[in-house]
Amino acid sequence: MIASAAEEPSGTIIGLYVGSPQQRWPGKPPSAIAKQPVDRPMRIDEHGFVDDQQADLTVHGGAEKAIHHYASEHMAVWRDVFPEQAAQFQPGCFGENISTTGLTEDVLCLGDILSLGSAKVQVCQGRQPCWKLNAHTGLDQMAAQFQKTGRTGWYYRVLESGTVEVGDRLELLDRLHPNWTLQRLIEARFDPRLDTGVAAELSGLTVLSQNWREAFEKKRRRGYVENTDRRLKGIP
């Protein structure tokens, strides 16, 4: 149950976005990161927006990455960090499916269940940025900055299918892990010196997506060092 009204965050949808795989970069695999805004109601099933596509289902999409949500509030931060490229930082620019006002990583928690139009969704992990974010924005440090700041956005799994459109509200229905804000969870995921006890706790939270649970299971091992070069820089 939700403990108090102060713990009932909500947000307003200002943009919905879908895309299809495109060959964007010579010698690199295709990507669907360049999503386009839609101004009609969108149908949601267990895999997310039915009109959205992913290029590589081994790392994108699926039940535990069904819908990607990014806070519009972060755009002002990125304009300050990269002033010469400020014009590109607009809702939808990071390949998200949903942009909102009112919801950020510090007010939502792992496992939160929300209404999304007539659908019901659950927060199950943050985003692990990759080199495609660098290529898409033209900024070599974009993925690393995403990871460093923790402003990564998050993913939902779909609990109940439905329909959503711009202007709809997201309302918190239930909170399962109030101690694990998304901000804290994302910081833990990318902390190279994470306490092994914390890693053990997170690896055992069944509401967390399987791939993040596996990552925390590895972090339980003393001396474990994660190599992020392939993900962040595209180095084989």
Residues 217 and 102 in one domain: no
One domain for residues 109 and 205: no
pLDDT at 1: 45
Same domain, 119 and 198: no
φ, ψ of residue 176 to 5 degrees: the values are: -100, -30
Question: Tens digits of per-residue pLDDT, 54-106?
Answer: 756 555 567 899 999 999 999 999 999 999 999 999 999 999 999 999 999 99
Query: How many folded domains does the chain comprise?
Result: 2
* Long-range CB pairs of 26-35, under 8 A, 24+ apart, other chains included: 28/135, 28/234, 29/55, 29/56, 30/55, 31/55, 31/132, 31/135, 31/136, 32/60, 32/95, 33/94, 33/95, 33/132, 33/133, 33/136, 34/95, 34/136, 35/92, 35/95, 35/96, 35/97
Return the closest-CA partner of residue 189 out of 161, 160, 155, 159.
155
Residue 233 lies in a domain: no
Q: Is 232 within the bounds of a domain?
A: no
| Closest by Cα among 92, 87, 115 to 38 | 92
Please give the sequence-ordered ranges of beta strands (E in DSSP) within the chain, or none if there are none. 10-18, 36-37, 42-45, 48-49, 67-71, 98-101, 113-116, 119-126, 154-160, 162-164, 169-174
Q: What's the confidence (pLDDT) of residue 57?
A: 54
Q: What is the pLDDT of residue 229?
A: 87
Domain assignment of residue 230, yes or no: no
Report yes or no on whether pTM surpasses 0.75: yes
Within this chain, do residues 156 and 200 fall inside the same structural domain, yes or no?
no
Q: pLDDT value at position 37?
A: 97
Which range of residues forms the domain containing residue 201? 191-224
Which tens digit of pLDDT belongs to each residue from 112-162?
999 999 999 999 999 999 999 999 999 999 999 999 999 999 999 999 999
Question: 63 and 14, same structural domain?
Answer: yes
Residues 166 and 207 in one domain: no
Residues 17 and 133 in one domain: yes
Residue 102 lies in a domain: yes
> How would DSSP label each residue in 128-167?
---HHHHHHHT-TTHHHHHHHHT---EEEEEEE-EEE-TT
pLDDT, one tens digit per residue, over 30-46 is 888 999 999 999 999 99
Does 67 fall in a domain? yes
23 and 116 share one domain: yes
Cα distance between residue 92 and residue 65, in whole Å:
17
Mean per-residue pLDDT over the chain, rounded: 92
- The percent of residues above 90 in pLDDT, for the chain, comes to 79
77 occurs within a structural domain: yes
Is 21 inside a domain boundary?
Answer: yes
What stretch of H or E contains 218? helix 210-219
Average pLDDT estimate for 173-202: 97
Q: Are residues 28 and 51 in the same domain?
A: yes
Phi, psi of 190 (to 5 degrees): -105, 10
Q: Do 109 and 139 lie in a common domain?
A: yes
H or E stretch including 231? Answer: helix 229-233
Write down how long the chain is.
Answer: 236
- Residues 32 and 82 reside in one and the same domain: yes
At 11, which CATH number? 2.40.33.20
- What pLDDT was estimated at residue 233? 86
Query: Are 99 and 173 contained in the same domain?
Result: yes
For residue 234, tell me if it sits in a domain: no
Least confident of 4-18, 28-42, 173-187, 200-214: 4-18
- Give the span between the Cα atoms of 52 and 92, in whole angstroms: 13
